[in-house]
Amino acid sequence: IETMKVFALLGVALMAMTANAVHDRVIEVESFTGYKVFRAWPEKDQLEFMRSFQGSGAYDYWTEVRLDKPVDIMAPPSAQAAFIRQLTDKGVRHEVMIPDVQALIDLEKAQSKLGSKISDDHAMTWTEYHSLEDMYTFLDYLEATYDFVSTESIGKSYEGRDMRVAKICKGGCGSKPAIWIDGGIHAREWISPATVTWMLRELVENDAAHSDLLENMDWYILPDHNPDGYAYTREHDRMWRKTRSSHGSIFGCKGVDPNRNWGYQWNTGGSSNDKCSDTYHGPEAWSEIENVNVRDFILSIKDKLVFFNSIHSYSQLILLPWGYTSNPPDNYDYMEAIALKGSDALTATHGEFYETGCIPCMLYVASGSSADWALGGAGIQFSISMELRDTGYYGFILPPDQIIPTAEE
């Protein structure tokens, strides 16, 4: 009996040590001083080796391991020497892409302080990354100023934050084909809600330059799909990706990848059962209240929706369903033709190129995504997601001076 007690205590101690290791190194880090992002180019016979680091808890995969594409991996100072040695021993070509992640975060903050206020009616500037509260002052301003703009809270997040949708409808909502755009489903992708709110500004305040957009369409825009995660990135851990829900992790790991939790082909590949993983799909489909809120609202207007776009970063991609399989949907050619027209117009804006194609073709299998559900569950015939700037020099920490050019694209 005494021996069993000793083993039990050792087990508890080991779990506690593991929990602390995960907590301190990747899951909740308040400073990224000395953290580096490595870019590697694995060959076909090196792919599994590159994936082998994912289970350690020490590394944050900014992009997934894929053939003929680079993989970007953030490593803490304590793991870098061993990481470099192993890559070198295996002959994997690699380089340091970001030498100090915290230095980029500090630059992001410093540039934000240079922004000047553009209106007494709201807090947004688009020369810095703003809080959710600032974004909502802009929604308040639009609603008070333009009679064709209204807002609606479609529900509250896990931590009780309102999820507000801007509805832009001339002549009232519901009589025209409709557009859905959302941002910020992954918390650390700050360029996404910044871009979405600027798009909202352009759509409303500069209506005269493209009046056909509002005359012929209703628009529904959700600036931040994951408000709890976004707040956490601003207050604690800049690299946090998931929601902030709790699902009984013995290591204290929180959150679910909200773009692996949708109830269409949920948990059929490209997501994780590990509650500490950045791609944890949740205990069941629709476990995340944020996704339920969006689902229920979209279903209430789905008969009018002809366009769905969920905006992410980074890699400069226009991604078409399916995500769960490389077999294309029946309307793939229709979606691709429209997406390629959009890609050409985007490139004409500032010369940046966004590659277009199916999700597994360019990235990896990813089941339980919102774009797959929008097409397969809600029947929205043009359903895409986008990865905004850049292609890796800054990654998720895009400087604020690129907000407006990215949004213009």
Closest C-alpha to 240, from 398, 396, 46: 396
Q: Are 316 and 353 in contact (CB under 8 A)?
A: yes
Instruction: Residue 285: name the closest of 302, 312, 265 by CA.
Output: 265
Q: How far apart are CA 212 and CA 203, in angstroms?
A: 10
Burial of 159 (0-12, 13-18, 19+ CB in 10 A): middle
Strand partners, 39: 72, 95
CB 339 within 8 A of CB 223: no
Separation of alpha carbons 162 and 290, rounded Å: 10
Query: Of 288, 387, 408, 409, which is the active-site residue?
Result: 387
Beta bridge partners of 308: 180, 383
* CB of 64 closer than 8 Å to CB of 5: no
The Cα 180–Cα 289 span in angstroms is 19
Q: Is 137 helix (H, G, I), strand (E, B) or coil?
A: helix
Cα–Cα distance for residue pair 358/353, rounded to 1 Å: 16
Whether residue 64 lies in the annotated active site = no
**Residue 172: which region, alpha, beta or left (left: phi > 0; alpha: psi -120 to 50)?**
left
Task: Report, as residue numbers or ranges, the catalytic residues.
Answer: 387
